[in-house]
């Protein structure tokens, strides 16, 4: 597996995700999406596994993903948006973004919107779609009371580091680990 997750070619000309040529349609995910969201979520976790041996994917990750997504869809503090393709990929879910609003007991703003996962199939990358997902989930988190938006991703995931840095995100906390 390549560092792009599944090695597919990058698309050609850049396109804006908000113009008439938008290559995706974004909508809230629903229960019926879970079977297609699970493999996308697992692709992301397997990509992270490539970056760091401490992120080795569990054997039962498939079932865990199902449970996590079902729980998110029932949780008013969580948001899962599904990106559908257009044209030949119409009605096919080609990516998603998952986030949750968390309380910050010691800091203001008192609520943060945490982006937990963002994933697009390789053919949809590098065309501004990720930026569009980020903008939409940020607005949805703000509407749920978040005063700041944060993103959790593996420190070794260069794609995520560059993607978020380009959009003005900077590190504010760090989790350091060692095996026991
Ligand atoms: C992260 C992701 C959703 C971004 O979506 P996208 O549509 O490619 O992002 P945009 O087109 O809006 O922005 C592209 C920027 O993201 C970063 N980026 C995207 N792919 C990259 C890669 N393979 N290597 C390095 N940086 C990358 C760069 O900053 C890039 O800007 P550039 O093209 O000027 O170099 C998408 O690349 C993806 O699904 N990656 C795999 C999953 C992942 O790592 N998710 C983040 C961890 S939760």
Domains of the chain: residue spans and CATH: 24-166 (3.40.630.30)
Share of the chain above pLDDT 70, in %: 88
Residue whose CB lies within 8 A of the most ligand 1 atoms, among 3, 130, 149, 164, for a mutation test: 130
Q: Is the CB of 10 under 6 A from ligand 1?
A: no
Mean model confidence pLDDT for the chain: 90
The pTM (predicted TM-score) of the whole model is 0.90
Reply yes or no on whether the pLDDT at 58 is more than 90.
yes
Close Cβ partners of 79 (under 8 Å, ≥ 6 residues apart) = 28, 72, 97, 98, 99, 100, 137, 140, 141, 144
Tell how far the Cα of 60 is from the centroid of ligand 1, in angstroms. Answer: 28
Q: Which atom of ligand 1 is nearest to the CA of 154?
A: 47
For 85-111, write each residue's pLDDT tens digit. Answer: 988 888 899 999 999 999 999 999 999
Please give the distance of CA 11 from its chain centroid, rounded to a whole number. 20
Task: Tell the residue nearest (CA) to atom 24 of ligand 1.
Answer: 159
Check if the beta carbon of residue 111 is closer than 8 Å to that of residue 103: yes
């Amino acid at each position: 597996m390549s560092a792009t997750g599944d090695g597919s070619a990058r698309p050609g000309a850049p396109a804006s995700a908000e113009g008439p040529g938008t290559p995706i349609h974004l909508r809230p995910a629903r229960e019926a999406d879970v079977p297609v969201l699970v493999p996308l979520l697992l692709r992301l976790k397997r990509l992270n596994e490539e970056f760091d041996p401490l992120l080795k994917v569990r054997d039962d990750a498939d079932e865990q993903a199902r449970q996590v997504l079902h729980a998110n869809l029932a949780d008013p503090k969580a948001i899962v948006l599904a990106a559908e393709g257009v044209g030949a990929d119409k009605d096919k879910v080609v990516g998603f973004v998952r986030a949750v609003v968390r309380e910050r007991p010691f800091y203001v703003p008192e609520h943060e919107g945490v982006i937990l996962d963002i994933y697009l199939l390789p053919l949809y990358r590098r065309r501004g779609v990720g930026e569009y997902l980020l903008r939409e989930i940020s607005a949805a988190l703000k509407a749920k009371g978040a005063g700041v938006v944060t993103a959790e991703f593996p420190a070794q995931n260069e794609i995520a580091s560059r993607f978020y840095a380009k959009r003005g995100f900077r590190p504010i906390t760090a989790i350091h680990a060692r095996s026991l």
